Structure 1
């Protein structure tokens, strides 16, 4: 009886406890369920994945983001990885409902036994819930929320979806998140290439990524891997033979970073800034793939061209001495360990690496590299090293190795032709920009010699004086004002004196003057005084305003006569855009770098719609300009300002065919083939083409472009040579360009085109006050001479190096002559009509109606024959 009472009491007590527990559980569930996130969102979760910047041909340029991750679909995860993880983390994964009571009891038992609750009994599902939704704090409340979320996840997601989430988000150490990234980081493999041993190693890392990191703690990692293999054997995932084979394998790990196909750091930074402006911090985590417009061939060629010519300049100007001296001749030499410690503060730039000379004599020196390797530098490696005195002066050639470098000196070296050479970090810098003139696509961009030395992007940020590179644009304005390529201007010295100021004497470079010359010759030979006279003829304000048509910023355009000599300052990218107008028929395209943006899973979310030069469009001149009228007052002003002598002025006045359109009249309108007006279209509102504005007429663009070819090829009979004659080495008749050198050679330029590619090169010191100076150059016969640096000798070779490669497989292009342009045989000396072909005559292009109407006077001995055949004696 007593026993029954006790039993009854215990039963009631148990039922009460159960009911109370249920009440507590229900109350706790509702309490801890408050504000829990909806697990359904995990179906479309975006894992933190770094941004990738790629070239137009899909080559990886850079990655941005703290976490390296390569998301995988469930079907792409190999079974051996799944088995290793399940055996390690959650052997009952496919049997529980998100929470595993058996696992919890086992964890409690082990905890009581060891008096330490190191195992929490969390399932894979719970770990996913914690990592996505909860904080890592250790508390009962957090654990209850974790369980609730895990149960909900099991209702909404399949087991496959849950484990795929886990394997894509979990931290494996060394910034590798997800098994895809971990497989590459530690083994350089794709997940499907992993062996059983490698899969077991990775499966053991998430428990303690830092403690078991196989790179830093190989012994711990090996022990952990073996334990995972034992678990896989116990679970029946592998057999005894597989286990023994796997456990006998060494770790074979190494740190692998994403393979960058080629270096383009300035491009990568521009892409990063573009993405950050567009997406903010999510740019680094949402796994975007950013496809740029550059190609590997173009970019590598551009980088090499800038690098090689900057190095060449530096060599020409002499050796500036060691980076520093670690010990002197009368001091004790440093130990190798101490030297290596000092070298650890330096890095290699391109192929230039730091080294310390540890032994020297007249014929050879021994140097120690930062990796501990000893190298030999013979006299051939230092024979270039004339002593640098200043930017205009270098010392004699050295005669011994020890006269250049000595033990104790920290120097820079590079390997060339299987031998080590003395080198130095260049003090000069440079940039190159190359675009497609038809749509503005940036093909290559180099912002400096080395991004690690200076992150300043000279291609887009350096606002430098343009020098003579501005001349084609002022001549374009002159053609639009009525001058022609046969107009004669006086190549004679100019002096302007203003009250209270110094005299201004613009000079040619070199200071050679040849009297009246045709405008084409003046442009090709870069005659400064002819440019000044042209500017005076059309007016400074007119020319300055006209320059805005080419995209030059108004605030950077100087409004005084020095504008003729390039006193305005622009960036290399702005100059490239302007030259594209001359190359593409008069269209102002907008350069762009980002072609498209894709999600990591695929799918384009942004596609750039470039402004295109509409070569297939018909051109309809504005009605006011269709019939160009002669403005005799303007003609008179042009002639009087030309600098020509009195007889020459009389000839110009007699030629009443000079056409002077009003610059205030609207630009040409684009007409589609169907007759509709082609307007510029907002890329965000339409999928149709976006037409670039037509800022100068096609006939003028054609003539200026042809004139720029003369700067390379000069006179057909060799009577004069253009400043860009070095580009003849390309052997193409469709190339043209213009050199540019500012006062005292502080900035040197070359801008030019070939096919539909426009490229600009700039070189100079970042300190704009410093001159590029002069250098001693050696000839093939070992003679030497002093030459000043300039656009032709310093920048033009960079352009040649780049364009010779880029144009190699592109057929030469023939420009289509506009219907309004005619060819006329003129006399070379006077620019008037020639009476017959010969060495004194040449074909010249004119806009129809602007060609000369008078014939040149023909001299025969002491007799002069006019256009009617009448002769008279000169004496």
Structure 2
């Protein structure tokens, strides 16, 4: 009895001492326990996602990749896999599993060390949220108290949901939603049993047991999970055997990105970091919806890349990138060796590296091996363009057979086209395109270069380049505001101005170097007459024009204070130019470009909604909170300039009577896709600098303004000239001669707008109130009583229309007629 009493007292003493110890430790760590509010409002670290205006995700930023899911959306077999593997008594314990604790204690007695494993799901959750992974008594004690505390405050399903969304699965995937995407590119509901078992096995050692880093260990771990599911009667023997035999098929998948818009994505990333800081921007699950249309963004990307390839092909082939073996000296390396060597060459833009295996002149084709292991044929039709590149001004003779271009062992680049694979090279020049909604400034598409992987420099918003003749609509707008009309005759003749200070004569020239004498203002802008632009600026004065140009948002300090301004010596970004053209498209209002429409928090609450300045407040939906954009020029002035730019597209005169003429943008007439949607309701202007270092085209329909630029990043490089390639038909290579805005930038604009016009307004350019029309004589600009091809109706601001008829004996008034003509 004494022994029993002693044992009983000892047990009670140990129990009391243990209770006191536990109570003491609880008091000691109590302040470190999470609050109830903190537990119920856990913020899962979730990346920022960026979407198009129509809901396509095109970027994800943040180290942690997570797709939060609700427990009710998780397939039951996946839940069973986790519970069977990690915590089979999850729904019966209070946060700490006595059996697991006993097992861990036994391991300590055997090894003398604290071992990992044995933790409940609640303990793992506590460790993931609040603790480190160090194997110490202090951490274990804290973990136990936090686990008990969590169990006392949250329902079991809440705990399990948090756990499934929090745990790490390797390759920056956190939570089961992200794991399914990273390893299989699937939603949870689409996973197979084998895939679920693979994911459920990852928390034990996500970096070393995942199927990408270590397929062998991943297979072994998957077998363990399936075995436990079978032991728990969660799957049948047949399901077990079938899943066990399933091959490991997985690869690293990206985020659910469905379109490519890296330049726009970087614009959003920089703006979000500036607004919220990196931590909030990258990890709080913000969803950013942009103003860009997925369809138009894709079209812009395609237009930039295809146009640059067209430029590069007409200037000649610069040769292969490497020679892996010479057919006359050695045999081809093994296929595995070739594939390994091809990994050294990066896929860039549309181009993919390949090695030539065989060249057959008899069949005029080559056999190539792509880096992904696919073997393809390269036909003569897709190589014939490759005459030698000499320099940007000269090309060599067109090849007659494929062996003149390619030989076995050559590393080349190819790109996919409708007819198969086409010989390619990384384009030398750069390009940018930006499209705006003229009514509110929303950016519908923005592409800043050929490949973001090669250059992150966003030329659409950062490249300040001389605008050339793209400046002329603004000069002409100022002229219309200062007494000129579309019917005013200006002398289109060479200018020879002596500068006594430098001892040099300034001789601005037309391009091409053709002069027509007296020409109407409408026709002069449509044909881009340089000397007319100079004479208009002279009439108004440089300071007057500089002040006027600031109405379009151009920086006063960046505008040259000399007559070269009339020819586009000012440097601007494509976005700045597009914003200026939007003033003409929207009836005279200066809008502010923006690209973020709204921002949603992780719980879908809208925390930011754009409030743009709009050109037409009454046109906006009543529920949209907008402010009016300032009107900077009159609606009448905007319409008159638009009319002249419309003539740049459609020309004038009568071809039947041999008086017809084309404006510089006449190539738009060839596009049936644009004409089918927009009819004749298109306006635009080409732009080329004197040395052809920069080429532009800016144009619009009523619902969209688009500016395109093509040039070299190196300001010293001109775009050059080409001759026709005798191997190609005129349809295959319709452009030759000196590069220019009409040849180099306009085709890109057309390619983009053929898609873009399908979804935007292209209404007629309605005549605003306050204008009058009168029939004028095309040769003199005077009133005419005739009703034939020698006349047309022209629009005038009241009081500015001509008063004399062409049949009077007086000579027409020609502005600049007193200047020297050579």
TM (norm. structure 2) is: 0.91
User: Are residue 824 (structure 1) and residue 774 (structure 2) matched?
Assistant: yes
Query: What is the aligned partner in structure 2 of residue 714 from structure 1?
Result: 651
CA deviation after TM superposition for structure 1 residue 833, in Å: 1.8
Q: Residues 245 and 112 of structure 1: is their aligned pair in 2 closer, same or farther, counting only changes over 3 Å?
A: farther
Report the alpha carbon displacement of residue 802 of structure 1 after superposing the two structures with TM: 1.7
**Unmatched runs of 5 consecutive residues or more in structure 2:** 813-822
1:40–1:156 contact (8 Å) kept in structure 2: no
Offset at residue 510 of structure 1 (A): 1.0
Q: Match of 1:825, SS?
A: strand
SS of the residue 1:748 aligns to: strand
* 2:353 alignment counterpart: 354
Identify the match of residue 765 of structure 1 among 673, 694, 712: 712
Rounded Cα–Cα distance in structure 2 between residues aligned with 1:783 and 1:156: 73
Q: Specify the SS of the correspondent of 2:133.
A: coil
Which residue number corresponds to residue 655 of structure 1?
none
Secondary structure of 1:98's counterpart equals coil
Distance 1:111 1:239 in 2: 36
Matched, 1:203 2:200: yes
Q: Distance in 2 between matches of 1:724 and 1:373?
A: 43
The answer to whether structure 1 residue 692 and structure 2 residue 629 are counterparts is: yes
Moved more, 793-802 or 608-617: 608-617
Of structures 1 and 2, the larger Rg is shown by 1
State the match for 2:528 in structure 1: 526
Q: Pick closer, same or farther for the CA change 1:259–1:232 going to 2, 3 Å.
A: same
Whole-angstrom distance in 2 between the partners of 1:690 and 1:504: 47
**Paired residues for 1:67-86 under 5 Å:** 67-86=64-83
1:240 to partner: Cα distance: 4.9
CA–CA separation in structure 2 for the residues paired with 1:369 and 1:96:
57
Match for residue 288 of structure 1? 286
Pairwise CA distance, 1:420: 3.5
Mapped to 2, the partners of 1:692 and 1:359 lie a distance apart of 63
Cα distance in 2 for residues equivalent to 1:459 and 1:581: 19
The 1-side partners of 2:703 and 2:443 are apart by 12
Question: Which residue of the partner structure matches residue 182 of structure 2?
Answer: 185
Asked if residue 723 in structure 1 is aligned to residue 724 in structure 2, the reply is no
Secondary structure class of the residue paired with 1:744: coil
1:745 corresponds to? 692
Measure, in 1, the Cα distance between the counterparts of 2:597 and 2:542. Answer: 39
CA distance, structure 2, for counterparts of residue 197 and residue 808 of structure 1: 46
SS in 2 for 1:24: helix
1:624-635, aligned counterparts within 5 Å?
none
Contact (CA 8 Å) 1:111, 1:119: kept in 2 or not? no
Which of 795, 799, 816 aligns to 1:845? It is: 795
Q: How does 1:65-464 map to 2 (within 5 A)?
A: 65-110=62-107, 112=109, 118-238=115-235, 240=237, 242-244=239-241, 246-281=243-278, 282-327=280-325, 331-332=329-330, 335-336=333-334, 337-360=336-359, 362=361, 363-464=364-465
Is 1:585 the counterpart of 2:587? The answer is yes
Counterparts of 1:457 and 1:333, CA distance in 2? 45
CA-to-aligned-CA distance 1:274-307 (integer Å, 9 cap, x gap): 2222222222212222111122221121222222
Shifted more, 128-137 versus 367-376: the winner is 367-376
C-alpha deviation, 1:537, in angstroms: 0.4
1:611 alignment partner, one of 613, 627, 633: 613
Distance 2:235 2:609 in 1: 49
Instruction: Go from structure 1 to structure 2 and tell me whether the alpha carbon gap of 1:147 and 1:541 turns closer, same or farther (over 3 Å shift).
Output: same
CA distance in 2, matches of 1:406, 1:247: 48
Where does 1:858-873 land on structure 2 (aligned, <5 Å)? 858=808
CA distances 1:302-339 after superposition (whole Å, capped 9, x unpaired): 22222222111111111112223445576545624444
TM-superposition CA deviations, 1:422-452 (whole Å, max 9, x none): 2211101111111111111111111111111
Instruction: Decide which of 32, 38, 42 is 2:39's aligned counterpart.
Output: 42
Aligned partners of 2:617 and 2:627 also within 8 Å: no
SS in 1 for 2:253: coil
The answer to whether the 8 A contact 1:32-1:141 is kept is no
Q: Could you report, residue by residue, the CA deviation over 1:656-682 in whole angstroms, capped at 9, with x for unpaired residues?
A: xxxxxxxxxxxxxxxx9x9xxxxxxxx
Deviations 1:162-196 (A, max 9, x none): 11000111112232211122223333332234444
Distance 2:811 2:602 in 1: 79
Shift of residue 252, structure 1, vs aligned partner: 4.6
Any conservation in 2 of the 1:712–1:722 contact (CA below 8 Å)? yes
What is the rounded CA distance, in whole Å, between the counterparts of 2:167 and 2:185 in structure 1?
Answer: 19
Contact 1:39 1:149 survives alignment (8 Å):
no
Which structure 1 residue ranges, 5 or more long, are not aligned? 618-671, 675-685, 867-875
Per-residue CA deviation, residues 127-171 of structure 1 (Å, 9 max, x unaligned), is: 111111111111111111111111111111111111100011111
Q: Distance in 1 between the 2:60 and 2:515 partners?
A: 56
* Contact kept in structure 2, 1:746 and 1:771, CA below 8 Å: yes
- Which residue of the partner structure matches residue 784 of structure 2? 834
Query: What value does the CA root-mean-square deviation take over the aligned residues?
Result: 2.7
**Aligned equivalents of 2:354, 2:188: Cα separation in 1:** 41
Deviation at 1:551, TM superposition (A): 1.0
**Aligned-pair CA distance for 1:242:** 4.8
Pair 321,782 (structure 1): closer, same or farther in 2 beyond 3 Å: closer
Aligned partners of 1:265 and 1:119: how far apart in 2?
43
Q: State the 1:368 CA deviation.
A: 3.2
Figure out how many residues of one structure are paired with residues of the other and give that number. 794
8 Å CA contact 1:55, 1:296 repeated in 2: yes
Preserved CA contact (<8 Å) 1:432 1:762: yes
- Counterparts of 2:202 and 2:13, CA distance in 1: 46
Native 8 Å contact 2:49 2:61 kept in 1? yes
Distance in 2 between residues matched to 1:815 and 1:417, nearest whole Å: 37
- Please name the residue that 1:683 is paired with: none
Aligned counterpart, 1:563: 565
Deviations 1:501-553 (A, max 9, x none): 12110011111111121111111111111110000000101101111111112
Query: Distance between the aligned counterparts of 1:332 and 1:243, measured in 2?
Result: 52
CA distance in 1, matches of 2:732, 2:118: 82
- What is the CA–CA distance in structure 2 between the aligned matches of 1:245 and 1:306, rounded to whole Å? 49
CA distance in 1, matches of 2:763, 2:732: 40
Q: What SS does the aligned partner of 1:206 have?
A: helix
C-alpha distance in structure 2 between counterparts of 1:781 and 1:71, whole Å: 53
Q: Map 1:769-788 to 2 at 5 A.
A: 769-777=716-724, 780=730, 787-788=737-738
From 788, 791, 814, the equivalent of 2:764 is 814
Q: TM-score, normalised by structure 1?
A: 0.86
Distance verdict in 2 for CA 1:250–1:14, change over 3 Å: same
In the superposition, relative to structure 1, how do residues 239 and 310 fare at CA in structure 2: closer, same or farther (>3 Å)? closer
Q: SS of the counterpart of 1:66? A: coil
2 CA distance for matches of 1:783 and 1:259? 39
Cα gap change, 1:608/1:193 in structure 2, threshold over 3 Å: closer, same or farther?
A: same
Are 2:724 and 2:736, in contact at CA under 8 Å, matched by a contact in 1?
yes
Distance 1:108 1:421 in 2: 68
Q: How far apart are residue 378 of structure 1 and its match?
A: 4.2
CA gap of 1:435–1:182, structure 2 versus 1, over 3 A, is same
Q: Which moved more, 1:399-408 or 1:46-55?
A: 399-408
TM-aligned CA deviation for residue 785 of structure 1: 9.3
Query: Structure 1 738/134 Cα, relative in aligned 2: closer, same or farther at 3 Å?
Result: same
Deviates more, 1:364-373 or 1:702-711: 364-373
Whether the aligned pair in 2 keeps the contact of 1:507 and 1:529 (CA below 8 Å) is yes
Contact 2:115 2:135 in 1 (8 A): no
Seen in structure 2, the aligned counterparts of structure 1 residues 168 and 518 have a Cα distance that, compared at 3 Å, is same
Q: 1:247 to 1:331 in 2, by over 3 A?
A: closer
Name 2:818's counterpart in structure 1: none
